[in-house]
Homo-oligomer: A and B are copies of this chain.
Amino acid sequence: MFRQLGRLGHMPATPLESSEHRSGALLDHLARRMRLRSESVLAPLGLRPRHLVALTVLRAGGGTGQQALATILEMDSTNIVGLLNDLEAKQLIERRRSPEDRRRHVVELTADGAKRLSEAECALASAEDEVLGALDPAERETLYELLSRASTGTAPNCTEAICAADDPL
């Protein structure tokens, strides 16, 4: 519990710049708006928003054990199983047993998965246009970059392993 707000101008020397600008609620709000639109757009592709999230994380993170995935996504591992089952049934991911520890399933995006993910992202363009309509392309890119950095922990400059997987174009 700090000073709460700027108050009456007699704050010592606290910069107070970014002060109470908490992004949480806005994040929630926009994510919801996005999700609502995504669902209908994604349905024809046989995906749901959370599949997209998982695929995105996998694309960024490479071969991950599923309990590591559970940690990243902050989901219960039992629910991860179902999620991955869906994706594996569609051959968008692959579960391979880790050679080091054969209990472990290493989850990886397949070529199909990367492709489908790109398609989905492409299909989401109009949804994003609606939700982020107030931002110009440069701002959206900035937003993407910030979100990307935040979500992959402290990754400074690795936001472009992204296009590596699927563009044999």
Residues of chain A having any CB pair with chain B under 8 Å: 1-2, 4-9, 11, 17-36, 38, 49-50, 52-53, 55-57, 73-74, 115, 118-119, 121-125, 127-128, 131-135, 137-144, 146-155, 159, 162-163, 166-167, 169
Knowing that A24-B121, A32-B73 touch, tell me 19 more A-B residue pairs with CB under 8 angstroms: A4-B169, A5-B122, A5-B167, A11-B169, A17-B141, A18-B137, A20-B121, A21-B144, A23-B128, A25-B56, A28-B35, A29-B56, A30-B31, A30-B147, A132-B150, A133-B150, A134-B155, A135-B146, A139-B149
Asked if B137 contacts A17 (CB within 8 A), the reply is: yes
Chain B residues lying within 8 Å of A124, measured Cβ to Cβ, are 22, 24
This protein's copies in its complex: 2
Contacts of A33 in B (CB 8 A): 74
